[in-house]
Structure 1
Amino acid sequence: MSRIHITFGIILIIVGGAAYAVTEFASWTAMIPAFLGLALIACALVGMLHHMIGAILGLVVAIAGIAGTAMNVIELGALFTGDVASPAAVITSTIAFVLLVLYAAFVIRSMVITAREHRNPTKLA
């Protein structure tokens, strides 16, 4: 599970860093995906000590990130018509949104599998 945290964390850091560079280092809000990525890596470190706590913290980070990026994802239609004020923010938020939804799906799937294994240990073999 920690590999999922770290993988998505690194991807989000790259997205945030690229967005910050594309905006010519003018807007700190372009770094929001990178901060979310750092939080996921911190969840990976917690997950190394206790798997379920790391997964739950990662899921909380993902839900907060999804909620925070959703307001720019809504403006995706305006991006295609050319009516959006900050196209870089919409694109970056959309990429982060999709990555966080995928991450949340992986974490939920992992938690369900873990719960099934603990509930019915005879099927482990």
Structure 2
Amino acid sequence: MTSQYHKSPMPRLTFLTGGLLVLVGIIGYVASIANDTQHWTAFIPSLIGVLLLISGAVAQKNLMAGIHMALLLALLGALAMFMPLMSLPALFAGEAERPAAVISALVTVIVLVIYLVLGVRSFIAARRWKKSNA
């Protein structure tokens, strides 16, 4: 592969996304303490973030494997966050049992979906670039 292919922004974006999710998990846990509803599940976004950070490190050595792994984790993470989002209507009505968990899940899904879209666009661009230089 040529050096231009290795200048993908995806490893950096993976690190950024992973770090952001670690923060979402920590902030969600701190917010849940303030509401006396703390639970270890508030760290799920942080767990996804750490796995993305590991994938970003893999991507620096093997771009395709690392980013494929990161996108799979992002997809699974986004799907896992849909269950807490079932309480979104209750949040807007002011009746959610754990509002911090719902907000954390919503932010996590938004971040992961944006990451997935950017990742797929990156793959499409890389494929086009590869075809044009073949």
Specify if TM > 0.5. yes
1:88-99 → structure 2 map (5 Å cutoff): 88-99=100-111
Matched, 1:10 2:22: no
Structure 2: gaps (5+ residues): 1-9
Structure 1 runs, 4 residues or longer, greater than 3 Å off: none
- Report the TM-score when normalising by structure 2: 0.86
Range that drifts further, 54-63 or 81-90: 81-90
Q: CA deviation at 1:99?
A: 0.3
Structure 1: gaps (5+ residues): none
RMSD: 1.4
Q: Count how many residue pairs are aligned between Structure 1 and Structure 2.
A: 122
Amino acid of the structure 2 residue aligned with 1:49: K
Tell me the equivalent position of 2:98. Answer: 86
Matched, 1:36 2:48: yes
CA contact (8 A) 1:79 1:87 kept: yes
- What is the distance in 2 between the residues matched to 1:118 and 1:52? 13
Q: Percent of counterpart pairs with the same letter? A: 30
Between structures 1 and 2, the one with greater helix share: 1
Range that drifts further, 97-106 or 70-79: 70-79
- What is the distance in 2 between the residues matched to 1:80 and 1:96? 18
Q: CA deviation at 1:81?
A: 0.8
Range that drifts further, 23-32 or 33-42: 23-32
